[in-house]
Structure 1
Amino acid sequence: MSRLAATFARARAEGRGALIPFVEAFDPDRDTTAALLAGLPAAGADVIEVGMPFSDPMADGPTIQRAGQRALKAGATLAGTLDLVRAFRVGNDVTPVVLMGYFNPILSYGVARFCTDAAAAGVDGLIVVDLPPEESEELDGPARAAGLDMIRLVAPTTGPERLPFVLAGAGGFVYYVSITGITGTRTATEAHLAEAIPRLRAATALPIAVGFGVRTPEQAATVVRHADAAVVASALIDTIADRLDAEGRPRPGTVEAVLDQVRALARAVRTARAPAAA
């Protein structure tokens, strides 16, 4: 059983949802990302999503765009991102790591080489935002050959006739983009989730994670009352950005501030389905 499958099975057996925090590799520097990766599992992260910095992140809102710019300024590369995962795996062979980003850096790196190196580093799955199923054959084959799950994005605008096509060959979990638009701008309502998630469950047996607009513990709890996992990204990146000094360096306590935020999110996610007290 893969790390992703085992993690979601464990959460299901415990009757709870899962938390997937996002960090942008090298934001604002390599050491900060390495410290966050090391601390996230104990803070309550079930799966860790790592952003691959790219100069033209079309699906991302201003918060993650700025994080990517800081990361590139700090020297982020795709090889450096894989090195971060490799270092994380020295101390943790249990928590799944998913890379999220865009196809151009993977293409520049070399698709087959990237998939082989990512799997060897300890990556479990890939989310490639700008690669629709019609155009993903070049990546799908090498990824599957390397044992990487291709995690598909489904949007509110994905119609019933297209949904089976999008989900064909999907692995790990389905990432439901709960809003139309860019990351970190709005939040889906509970009524929307109550309508959308059953539609997805009827089309796939994979776990469903909800992202794009989940910022607070309350919102994360609402998500996992309907879906299997909540993805939180921009809110954590904002915490980092708010603690940078005039030179763009993280002030003391930045890592712990983010981990405290993750602890609060994890508590909400893990108790969201608990029966209300009489």
Structure 2
Amino acid sequence: MSTATSVQIAESRVDARFAELKAQGRAGLVTFITAGDPDAETTYQILRALPEAGADLIEIGMPFSDPMADGPAIQASSQRALKNGISLAKTLEIVHRFRAEDSTTPVILMGYYNPIYHMGVEKFLRLARDAGVDGLIIVDLPPEEDRELCLPAIDAGLHWIRLATPTTDDKRLPKVLENTSGFLYYVSILGITGTRAAAAEEVGAAIERIKRHSDLPVAVGFGIRTPEHAAAIGKVADAAVVGSAIVERIAEALDENGKAGTGLVDSVTELIRDLRTGLDR
């Protein structure tokens, strides 16, 4: 079966990180947090703590009022962020601040097209590139809409990271892989984020099929909550993506007014260290 040709992005932190992980013989840990949850400063403090705690790549959610693919935990985090005045511009400012301290950890923005459309594609891509963003995952733009944002993003030097699901069959997969670079995000279950988990055996079989079409690294997400599950996924995938469990840990550390408690950052980093330990077993 033919292998899709990968899009090449110059001086890619994503490619460099996956090459490093492969050389070390270990699976990557991709962590997700929502920008501005519960506030911009706390997001920044979490961001700067994630790499040392064990995160290899960081996904940052762009808050949106109607996150249709996300489960209750991530929906709630988006609402908290919007309530506290976060915007796409402020999200990019947080990334820019983080990048001034960390020049190697890949940062991927994940979300929906609407906020980008309202900012303007050209302006967004310029600000994202200047801030040090490495790639985009935009869940509501299928390959048929690549002219909207995908192709301009690639021209701007950003990875376009696509989602594949258990229903992405061999006929559809080549189209999904078209213009995809950095890695492929395999959604291991059908439905919304954070609801249940897929068995490692099922995921392994899906990844084998994907690898017959592409040499891209495959990161697996949706439903990974424990070090044990991360370890199982890490044995069959190039990386494990954890989002809802982290966002829930943030929510648990908020005070009665929805503000960051004193131990919030430490609580999140403890979870990341546990996940990293699980992956390294």
Q: The TM-score by the shorter chain falls in which range? A: over 0.9
Question: Residues 199-240 of structure 1: CA distance to partner in whole angstroms, max 9, x if unpaired?
Answer: 011111110000111111111111110010000000011111
- Residue aligning to 1:260: 270
Shift of 1:113: 1.3
Deviation at 1:146, TM superposition (A): 1.0
Deviation at residue 138 of structure 1 after TM alignment = 1.3
Secondary structure of 2:185's partner?
strand
1:194, distance to aligned residue in structure 2 (A): 2.1
State the AA in 1 paired with 2:57. Answer: V
Partner residue, 1:146? 156
Q: Aligned letter for 1:122?
A: G
How far off its partner does 1:172 sit?
0.7
Contact 2:204 2:237 (8 Å CA) reproduced: no
1:26 to 26, 32, 36: 36
Is 2:141 the partner of 1:131? yes
Q: Distance in 1 between matches of 2:275 and 2:13?
A: 22
* Contact kept in structure 1, 2:34 and 2:62, CA below 8 Å: yes
For residue 262 of structure 1, give the secondary structure of its aligned residue in structure 2: helix
Q: Residue 40 of structure 1 aligns with which residue?
A: 50
TM-score (norm 1): 0.96
- Secondary structure, counterpart of 1:230 in structure 2: strand
1:240 has 2:250 as partner: yes
Gaps (5+ residues) in structure 1?
Answer: 272-278
Three-state SS of the structure 1 residue aligned to 2:63 is coil
AA of the residue aligned to 1:53: P
- 8 Å contact from structure 1 (residues 154, 174) kept in 2: yes
Contact 1:63-1:238 within 8 A present in 2 as well = yes
- Contact 1:18 1:270 (C-alpha < 8 Å) held by counterparts: no
Is 2:105 aligned against 1:101?
A: no
1:112, 1:200 → 2: CA distance? 32
User: Residue 120 of structure 1 corresponds to which residue in structure 2?
Assistant: 130
Question: 2:149 is paired with a residue of what secondary structure?
Answer: helix
Amino acid at match of 1:229: A
Amino acid at match of 1:262: I
Percent identity at matched positions? Answer: 54
After TM superposition, give the deviation of residue 270 of structure 1 in Å.
Answer: 2.4
- Superposition pairs of residues 7-86 of structure 1, within 5 angstroms: 7-86=17-96
Q: Distance in 2 between matches of 1:190 and 1:228?
A: 13
1:52 is matched by which residue type in structure 2? M
Shift, 1:190, TM fit: 1.6
In 2: Cα distance, 1:172 partner to 1:111 partner: 21
Give the conservation status (yes or no) of the 8 Å contact 1:210–1:230. yes
* Cα RMSD after superposing both structures: 0.7
Range that drifts further, 243-252 or 94-103: 243-252
| Residue 159 (1) aligns with residue 169 (2) | yes
Q: 2:4 matched to which residue of 1?
A: none
Read off the aligned partner of 2:81 and give its amino acid letter: A
Q: Secondary structure at the match of 2:137?
A: strand
AA paired with 1:130?
A: D
1:177-214 deviation per Cα after TM superposition (whole angstroms, max 9, x unaligned): 00000000010112211211100111111100001111
Q: Distance in 1 between the 2:119 and 2:110 partners?
A: 15
Uncovered stretches (5+) of structure 2, i.e. residues with no partner: 1-10
Count of residues paired in the alignment: 271
TM-score, structure 2 as length reference: 0.95
Q: Distance in 2 between matches of 1:68 and 1:127?
A: 16
TM-aligned CA deviation for residue 67 of structure 1: 0.2
